[in-house]
Structure 1
């Protein structure tokens, strides 16, 4: 038994730390995964810092839509940084141990940042809905005050709601196994090691997923349903195409973000014989969107491209 299991006053063994084994089934060569992962992490940091710099420097981008994009950039960097340093420590230095408070803190941070990203996608969907369906009212509805209030609401929601996850996990008794076949402290992976009834944890995870992700997805679908109806009423194909083009980057990121969550849920519920797949999806879900989001917006948005050229001191002619 690991030295991280100590004898408690009740003469039962109590785990004092967990061992993150990394990627199941490929422990002998998993260190090779560090190369693409560190490249994705660096890309996410550099790309999001560039987005923030461009939005800050360009007065033309001081608009609600770009403010939300800037907030998304901060959230993306927080999400990637929550998991990548520990994963790289495991892959490079075999630093697999993590004490319980650190593990529960990481668990909480992951839930916070994922929920916050989902919430910002909702705010951006509402922004596009008002811009396309109520263009004359847009300046009076989507104001600086709206950006601040909606961001504060999302930050408050995603700080308070996930508190139940680490609190309930900390109440479980971990008295035997302490090896987690994962490279991060996922809620379900941790509580699967508990020696007592963990039904309340599973129910709480399900309720949390439906109340946060379920409500966010519903609002996004509703917003884009109204957007589609509004676009279909336009007589000009050119006008319809222009209206939809402002949404393509946002929709691309939304579909990618939620598709991975759905696939992760299905693979975990199905109890796949290859546990590597859900673990890898879990890691990639926390590192690919932060790297992908700024790239998609930069490629799809002319104003951002022009701002990028200026920041990099490139010629803006023909952009």
Structure 2
């Protein structure tokens, strides 16, 4: 029997991911819905990227931001699912320490990017509805590219200290991570030195990104709703609100479970570990599948373009 659980891990070579503790017997069954979700996420996001690239009428800020969201979701889901499925299928739980840090960085970095993209999409909807005559002149391709660059750089810079703070800590208790992936707090809890800096910085990043982005989104949609309710007819109000419906659905699918996971991780001591891990995986894996589906169903331009690639037999 290896003594890996009692060795000095000041420079650990590997960590052990347990998967979902308490549900080990169901790992094989759980892999089925997770595989389906991942396959649908890959297919639907690549479909969005393909449609926007092939259809010139979709070369607009809203769809450029949607492509950014699709690319982010592809990286985010791929950072988690393959290793998770290897654990479920082959019980291969080891992950190299550096690979663990890379996975941690990608997960949190692209989560921050996704939140920034939601904020950018709210800006686009605000300009399109509240200032329609100035929309195309303000949100030019160059401005959209700059916004995308700021969102990417913000995520890269804010999350960059996290793996270094984890790397510099000694690990002298265990190298077992009770999770399906290398989540920041799950790794930090294994350190045997003072982790206040890592805890506080991680909390600062989470609160900063969420508060700034959500505040901007709330202000944008407050102004949007004010304009919508001032429209003269019910039909006009419903039509205008419908253009924002997909964005609001996507935001809800992402922020609600992530907020729940964040709160239960820090304050839900009585929440079963397996339930917390299930929520933590769902909030990272479900939005990448749902985002392109919601936009595809609720956005007429995307839906019509998609149908053109699958003409009816009688056509």
TM over 0.5, shorter chain:
yes
Give 5+ residue unaligned stretches, structure 1.
none
Partner of 2:129: 132
Deviation at 1:277, TM superposition (A): 1.2
| Kept after mapping to 1: 8 A contact 2:20/2:277 | yes
State the distance in 2 between where 1:281 and 1:311 align.
36
Give the alignment of 1:17-56 within 5 angstroms: 17-56=14-53
1:290 to 275, 288, 291: 288
Partner of 1:104: 101
State the distance in 1 between where 2:181 and 2:127 align.
39
| Kept after mapping to 1: 8 A contact 2:257/2:283 | yes
Deviation at 1:7, TM superposition (A): 6.2
| Kept after mapping to 2: 8 A contact 1:5/1:15 | no
DSSP-derived class of the 2:132 partner: coil
State the distance in 2 between where 1:276 and 1:5 align.
22
Q: Deviations over 1:206-233 (max 9, x none)?
A: 1101221211111101100111111122
Give the alignment of 1:268-279 within 5 angstroms: 268=265, 269-279=267-277
Q: Deviations over 1:155-204 (max 9, x none)?
A: 11111110111111111111121111101000110111111111111101
State the distance in 1 between where 2:59 and 2:314 align.
20
| Kept after mapping to 2: 8 A contact 1:21/1:180 | yes
| Kept after mapping to 1: 8 A contact 2:5/2:176 | no
Deviation at 1:315, TM superposition (A): 7.0
State the distance in 1 between where 2:204 and 2:75 align.
24
State the distance in 2 between where 1:295 and 1:13 align.
45
Give the structure-2-normalised TM-score: 0.95
Deviation at 1:316, TM superposition (A): 11
Give the structure-1-normalised TM-score: 0.94
1:312 to 303, 306, 310: 310
Partner of 2:79: 82
Deviation at 1:16, TM superposition (A): 2.3
- When residues 128 and 273 of structure 1 are mapped into structure 2, their CA distance, relative to the original with a 3 A threshold, is closer
Q: Deviations over 1:254-306 (max 9, x none)?
A: 01111011111222222134111111111111111010001001110111111
| Kept after mapping to 2: 8 A contact 1:25/1:276 | yes
Q: How many residues align?
A: 314
State the distance in 1 between where 2:64 and 2:271 align.
44
State the distance in 1 between where 2:269 and 2:313 align.
53
Partner of 1:245: 242
Give 5+ residue unaligned stretches, structure 2.
none
State the distance in 2 between where 1:2 and 1:158 align.
39
State the distance in 2 between where 1:233 and 1:175 align.
63
| Kept after mapping to 2: 8 A contact 1:6/1:15 | no
Partner of 2:195: 198
Deviation at 1:314, TM superposition (A): 4.0
| Kept after mapping to 1: 8 A contact 2:15/2:177 | yes
Deviation at 1:29, TM superposition (A): 2.4
- Is 1:174 aligned with 2:167? no
- Is 1:164 aligned with 2:150? no
2:113 to 110, 116, 121: 116
DSSP-derived class of the 2:180 partner: coil
State the distance in 2 between where 1:92 and 1:298 align.
32
